Structure 1
Amino acid sequence: MAKAAVVILAGTDGHENLGRLVNGLETAREFAETDGDEIELIFDGAGTQWVPELEDEDSDHHELYRTVREDTSVCDYCSGAFGVEDAVADAGVRVLDDHDGHPSIRSLVDDGYEVITF
């Protein structure tokens, strides 16, 4: 049994960031599909900008995102800072504000999660 927190920090600009997003989603899906594993997928920083795009059914990566959506959360502070707060609220994605408005990475580590960033 493994516990992993996949944190998407890559923004929406550039081919390399798209690659980081897809690799992060694929990694999260692999954990989600493995019996006994636990996964947290967190969109943080510029990564919060992906949520409205991935929620769009016409997105090339919507179906991949849907496979891990129930394990998804978004940084509260960063969703506001990057202008996607309303889209995140409309999507109904869980918002984290454990540490000064941000997700607590320390808590994840303390709970035994391996933190992987993309």
Structure 2
Amino acid sequence: MDKFAFFAFNGDLMCFQHVLLNALDLAEKGHEAKIIFEGEAVKLVQKLEKSTNKHYFAAKEKELIDSICKACSAKLGVLEFNQKTDIPLKGEMSGHPAMESYIKDGYKIITM
């Protein structure tokens, strides 16, 4: 079983949909997958939380969504909303989630 950490930087919903699809597919095939909202993608949390996006809610239910970047949420004006979700905010690297911690835990990093 391989481990993958998807760092989603792109704020385009269509692009993020592919992150969701790939993470779900890997998880269904026995791999471990995590999704980390970074960069512009942190603005998608509010849109997705208010949507009926079945892939987002499936990934959330399967606990594939690992965290949201605290620094980017603050910079892009969505910190207050993102703090109210049940998704952890991380910021151990100058306010951002550190890829090194995932690498140390055996995850292959994929950025999208």
Q: Distance in 2 between matches of 1:90 and 1:110?
A: 29
Q: Distance in 1 between matches of 2:71 and 2:105?
A: 23
Which residue is equivalent to 2:4? 4
SS in 2 for 1:101: coil
Please tell me the root mean square deviation across aligned C-alpha atoms, in Å.
Answer: 1.3
Q: Distance in 2 between matches of 1:32 and 1:77?
A: 28
Q: What code does the residue aligned with 1:9 have?
A: F
Which residues of structure 2 form unaligned runs of 5+?
Answer: none
What does residue range 99-114 of structure 1 map to in structure 2 within 5 Å? 99-114=93-108
Q: TM-score, normalised to structure 2's length?
A: 0.89
- Moved runs in structure 1, 4+ residues, more than 3 A? none
Q: Within the alignment, does 1:32 sit opposite 2:27 as a pair?
A: yes
What does residue range 1-118 of structure 1 map to in structure 2 within 5 Å? 1-11=1-11, 17-35=12-30, 37-56=31-50, 59=51, 62-69=53-60, 70-72=63-65, 73-118=67-112
Which residues of structure 1 form unaligned runs of 5+?
Answer: 12-16
Identity value in percent: 31
Task: Give per-residue Cα distances to partners, 1:29-72, cap 9 Å, x unaligned.
Answer: 1122233x21110000111000001101xx25x21101111221
